[in-house]
Amino acid sequence: MTGFIRSRPIASAIVAFVLLLILLGSFPIVPETKQAVVVRFGKPVRIYNQYTPGRPVGGLGAGINWRIPFAEQIVWIDKRVQDVDMQRQQVLSTDQRRLEVDAFARYRITNPLLMYIRAGSEEQLREQLRPILGSEVRNELGRVEFASLLTPERQGIMDSVRTSLNKIALQYGVEIIDVRIKRTDLPDGAPLAAAFDRMRTSREQEARSIQAQGAKQAAIIRAQADADASKTYAASFGRDPDFYDFYRAMQSYQTTFVGDGQTKPAPTNIILSPQNDYLKEFTGRSK
């Protein structure tokens, strides 16, 4: 062996370098933040550093491991929380508002073997989750009104989206941690103007309805007041007809000569004879 190395130093160096690569490739180092799926001729055979709920990220499984060189390959899968953005799309709410919605979901790969079988890689997983997220957001927002997205009820809507999305994501070995809406807008141009017109028309109709209801209540109150006044006048006339005549005459004089306090009387001259019955209260005459 020593003679071979001395006689062929270049070949010996190449062989030593290849052996070193094989040795290093046989004992891969699994990072704390990665899960490793060992694949032998396209078939997964074992997993290193798999995520376990409740166990720290840098727990058992990370570090130096082994594989068969050339026969086994390693597929690296992130162990940390990741996110996927939904493509901006239009959603029709129950009050017929077209909304432009941006949303995203945060997830973690909890079953790397199932993820590898169903998706193949993390990038392909995102591409499959993106339309599913858009579909679930569209379905949930289509069941609520636009105003609900501006209230605390929005959190309940997002929880429903997360629950629905999680049922599908579990088929890919993924756990959905959270779903959020980044932005919700009305479409620009004619749809936005039409939405504002509908909102203005709705508020005007509501104002007219409130005004009509107030006028109705005012009419009822006035009618009741007139009825009570008539009863009072009738009772007064029955008890003291002379006082009733005097009181009504004073009211008439006030309205004619002074006004009712709201409108100023017209500058009109009234010429009456002293014997006129209208002035009987001034002269002290009775009927």
pLDDT in tens, 124-175: 999 999 999 988 888 888 888 777 776 777 788 888 889 999 999 999 999 9
pLDDT in tens, 223-263: 888 888 777 777 766 666 777 777 777 777 777 777 666 66
* Strand 89-92 to 98-109 pairing: antiparallel
Burial group, residue 232, by CB count within 10 angstroms (0-12, 13-18, 19+): exposed
Cβ neighbours of residue 157 closer than 8 Å, sequence gap 6 or more: 140, 141, 144, 148, 149
- pLDDT-derived band at 18, boundaries 50, 70, 90: low
What pLDDT score was predicted for residue 173? 93
Q: Which residues pair with 227 in a beta bridge?
A: none
- Write down the pTM of the prediction: 0.59
Question: For residue 25, what are its two tokens?
Answer: 């490739």
Angle at 253 between CA 247 and CA 258, to 5 degrees: 125
